[in-house]
Amino acid sequence: MAVRYSGHWLKTRQQGAWQSAILLAVLVPLVAIRFTTHQLNVALALAGLTMAPFAIAYRASRFLEAQERMHTEPTPEMQFIFQFVANTPMAIGGLLLVLMSAMSR
């Protein structure tokens, strides 16, 4: 059974995975367009920034998975990592959406 975390809109790692999938579906087409319309170095920087939230989410999810095998209830460090993995990808994704929309003008 999945460990449920309190105090967040997302409650489980599965919901965090769905959040990442939706974020990926939104950002990848925008980055693909930037590859055709901007210089290569700018497009590569945007691609790297786009991959950052998913790398963060993957590493944090692996940590939480290992911790969940040892604990049935979330520990304070698990709560912190879950909060980090729930908020950071969305913040970076929002920044990228603003940045890419400003670049299209």
- Taking only the tens place, the pLDDT of each residue in 45-78 is 888 988 888 888 889 889 999 998 999 888 999 9
Q: How far is CA 62 from the centre of its chain?
A: 14
pLDDT at residue number 39 = 87
Q: What is the mean pLDDT of residues 84-91?
A: 85
pLDDT at residue 66, as a whole number: 92
Confidence (pLDDT) at 72: 86
As a whole number, the mean pLDDT across the chain is: 85
Q: What is the distance of C-alpha 56 from the center of its chain?
A: 6
19 pLDDT higher than 60: yes
pLDDT at 90: 85
Q: Supply the pLDDT for residue 46.
A: 86
Interhelix angle 40-70/13-37, rounded to 10 degrees, is 170
Predicted local confidence at residue 1, as pLDDT: 57
